[in-house]
Amino acid sequence: MSQGSVIVIGAGLGGLQCAYILQRNGYDVTVLEQGAQIGGCLQTFRRKGVEFDTGFHYVGGLGEREVLGWIFRYFDLLDLPWKKLDEDCVDRIIIGKDEFRLPSGYDNFVDTLSRQFPSQKKELRRYVDVLKKIGSSLRDDFGTGASIDYFQQSAYKFLCDTISDPLLRKVVSGASLRLESNADTLPLYEYAQINNSFIQSGWRLKGGGRTLVERLADGLRHMGGKILTGVKITEIVEAGGTAVEAVSDKGETFSADIFISDAHPAVTVSMLKNCSSVRSIYKKRINSLKNSNGVFTLNARIKEGELPYENFNTTLHGSDADVWHSRGKSYMISYGVPESGDSATTIDILTKIDWKLVSEWEGTSPMLRGKEYEEIKEMMARRCIKAASQVIPSLEKSIEFYSTSTSLTYQDYTSTPDGSAFGINKDWHSPITTLISPQTPVRNVLMTGQSLNLHGILGVSMTSLYTCAEIIGHSKIKKQFKA
């Protein structure tokens, strides 16, 4: 017998995971996706027959008994064609002309970096011990609020208090395209969870985000769940304090007992515009929260046999760059896993982008934004290639073709305001304000996704558990995932 009907709005990772959990627990779930393709930030696209990822590059903590591995086991995702990154170098950090390697494994991390910073070994040990402690708390929290203390501490202060060498502080936080490293606001919890997972291990996925999304969707459909694309929900209708139906831009209605929105919280609030139980103070709070920066991405196809595949990521910083205070440009280089052989087939180069640079074209159609917009993209593409050529000298002549995207592209395809790459910025000064509960003022409408608790694959996966725990109970979901 069905536990009830559920409508999930948005087929991003969080929406699909919530649908999977609830369908597995006896609910009748339908996922509504506004685009033609499911996956949200994990969408892929094709150019000249070559497939590129949009937002998926690597994940951390996927090994046995590691933070993401035990979650993905539940979703039957561990037998996908994962490729483990080099244990002695998950991330290569270049600062000016100096090179450093961030390996996986707590002891390996300390030993490797202490060879270049011998006087800092005790400090490095304390650093990884704190990250490990906070990371291990993830399995015991499940939305109970046990981690709130770490949300109330500054990541930057922790870093300065723990590591005395300014250069080493830059190195350990050098993989800066993982998160919004803001010295004034970033909570210790967010910094520790993300970086701890990559100290545990790093992984790429052959086929990219599409491979993961298709497995989740197939599992959901196999259990009887439904996914409909091309359905853009614009309003959730309330009656007597309870949502009764979702309405599309074409006037279609979808009734259910429970509604879950995988859209950005501000987008979700816009759907609840006529709900009497959603007070203006709640709407104002959600709409006033600041979004993190977006990302400019260059996706390059590499000529056959021109470059060797590198099984690690590289982040480049100028000698005067300061990621904690937004000074100087930084770039991340990430290789796609080749279908066969040891030669690179695709390379992505990413750098943060100011929304103001592209905001004047908001509301225009992709591919039809005019010469000035294309010139901005080409200017940034040249900068990315020039920066990456510092470590790949033959890169430019090895590129067969490339495609580019901005935060505006990201907004168009994921409906994320400002094309934010990491969702809403969390602030350790006011965690109660910037941490958003899955429960909305409408009792049977919930939210999920990276803006609520923690961003990225790990954060979205954990948030899907928190959201579903509001429906089926914290103890039940905790028991299922820890089994």
The strand pairing partners of 477, in sequence order, are none
pLDDT in tens, 241-257: 899 999 999 999 999 99
pTM: 0.95
Among the listed residues 147, 152, 97, 107, the one whose alpha carbon sits nearest the alpha carbon of residue 127 = 107
Task: Note the pLDDT of residue 119.
Answer: 97
Instruction: Look up residue 68 and give its DSSP letter.
Output: T
Distance CA(72)–CA(78), nearest Å, equals: 6
Residue 140 pLDDT exceeds 80:
no
The vertex-92 CA angle with 88 and 98, nearest 5°, equals 115
| Residue spans per domain, the chain | 5-61+71-76+207-289+436-482, 86-200+291-419
The vertex-136 CA angle with 480 and 335, nearest 5°, equals 95
Residues found in the chain: 483
Residue 109 pLDDT exceeds 60:
yes
The CATH superfamily of 5-61+71-76+207-289+436-482 is: FAD/NAD(P)-binding domain (3.50.50.60)
Residues 6+ apart with CB under 8 A from 286: 265, 266, 268, 269, 436
Distance CA(261)–CA(15), nearest Å, equals: 7
User: Same CATH fold, 86-200+291-419 and 5-61+71-76+207-289+436-482?
Assistant: no
Among the listed residues 280, 230, 244, 299, the one whose alpha carbon sits nearest the alpha carbon of residue 52 = 299
pLDDT in tens, 150-199: 999 999 999 999 999 999 999 999 998 888 899 999 999 999 999 999 99
Distance CA(316)–CA(355), nearest Å, equals: 22
Q: In the structure, what pLDDT confidence band is assigned to residue 116 with cuts at 50, 70 and 90?
A: very high
Among the listed residues 424, 436, 443, 438, the one whose alpha carbon sits nearest the alpha carbon of residue 467 = 438
Distance CA(19)–CA(15), nearest Å, equals: 6
Q: Could you tell me the two tokens for 282?
A: 């709640």
Residue 295 pLDDT exceeds 90:
yes
Residue 146 pLDDT exceeds 70:
no
Task: Note the pLDDT of residue 141.
Answer: 65
Task: Note the pLDDT of residue 395.
Answer: 97
Helix (H) or strand (E) run with residue 69 in it? helix 69-74
Look up the CATH architecture of domain 86-200+291-419. Answer: Alpha-Beta Complex (3.90)
| Class of residue 40 by CB neighbours under 10 A (exposed 0-12, middle 13-18, buried 19+) | buried
Distance CA(389)–CA(199), nearest Å, equals: 27
